[in-house]
Structure 1
């Protein structure tokens, strides 16, 4: 019987991501002084919903760009990965630094996609889409996608080889820094 074992770098990657999330929360917090007054001044609920959806996409996009820039730069690592002595490299025969497009795809799948799907569900809940059980198509789709995506991202990092879904899609790997 095959036994599932934790991936070798799983704990270090988890700690690195937790540290990085502190910075991502800082991005969201920095935008509150802009978002709250704008939201309070809008009285049409449909316009408010659209603005909430659009504005909620700004922090995950910025976080993905920030992480991609860090992972494609000289250290090949975000702040959290540097603390854990980890690097992101291109997968394959030549394991050099990941290019910016690869790092951006990696972080869009890892950060922006689950974050924004979660926001679609949360904003739908705020505007009553979940009250009577008949949620809108985008909210239903987001609810169906977000949990398997997060479980897939976590499961592929924690178990087996430790090559995450986002790493597989972007052609990258996380390795111990040399």
Structure 2
């Protein structure tokens, strides 16, 4: 089943193009943690001790939220694509009309795509960092949920529609478009 059949707004984006676009974007995004982690290590080394939950909130506010907002801004309106998608010739469009999506829908899409799994992953990592020898049942369940989300998001790219759960939630589709 080809993944490039014609649909509204362009041809379906092949899974490998979407994965390549994601890798390009994450190479850019990784600059932010590379800047923030040394600051956190320095603060911790200087004696700053905060509750794990507060570290998680800080990481969300300084890392996850800005990345999610940046991706939503890039995928909405005139841009229609993150730099990685642009490099691979992909754009995000309304699933029905093929037109650009607004910021609200792009934010919903990226919250499900980025913020939710990343925050859950942080919660799991912080949980294991503090309870490594005796993780709770809820931490184990949350870990399973994180893996299910990751595999569902990735596996959906290989379905004939190539629409992921976050595309369905946002009413979007990623298609081959212009490389303006």
Instruction: Assess same fold via TM > 0.5.
Output: yes
Is 1:6–1:158's contact at 8 Å kept on the other side of the alignment? no
Kindly report the root-mean-square deviation, in angstroms, between the aligned alpha carbons of the 2 structures.
1.8
Partner in structure 2 of residue 26 of structure 1: 31
Partner in structure 2 of residue 117 of structure 1: 120
Q: How far apart are the structure 1 equivalents of 2:77 and 2:32? A: 20
Higher normalized contact order (CA 8 Å, seq sep 6+, divided by chain length): 2
How many residues are treated as equivalent by the alignment?
167
Runs of 4+ in structure 1 off by over 6 angstroms are none
Q: How far apart are the structure 1 equivalents of 2:32 and 2:111? A: 16
Is 1:6–1:159's contact at 8 Å kept on the other side of the alignment? no
State the 1:157 CA deviation: 1.4
Unaligned runs of 5+ in 1: none
Q: How far apart are the structure 1 equivalents of 2:23 and 2:132? A: 30
Partner in structure 2 of residue 151 of structure 1: 151
Is it true that 1:135 corresponds to 2:126 in the alignment?
no
Q: 1:88 aligns with which of 77, 92, 97?
A: 92
Under a length normalisation based on structure 1, what TM-score does the superposition of the two structures give? 0.85
| 2:157 partner SS | helix
The superposition leaves residues 101-154 of structure 1 with CA deviations (integer Å, 9 ceiling, x where unpaired) of: 111111111111111111111111111x2412x4263x3342131011111111
Unaligned runs of 5+ in 2: 5-13
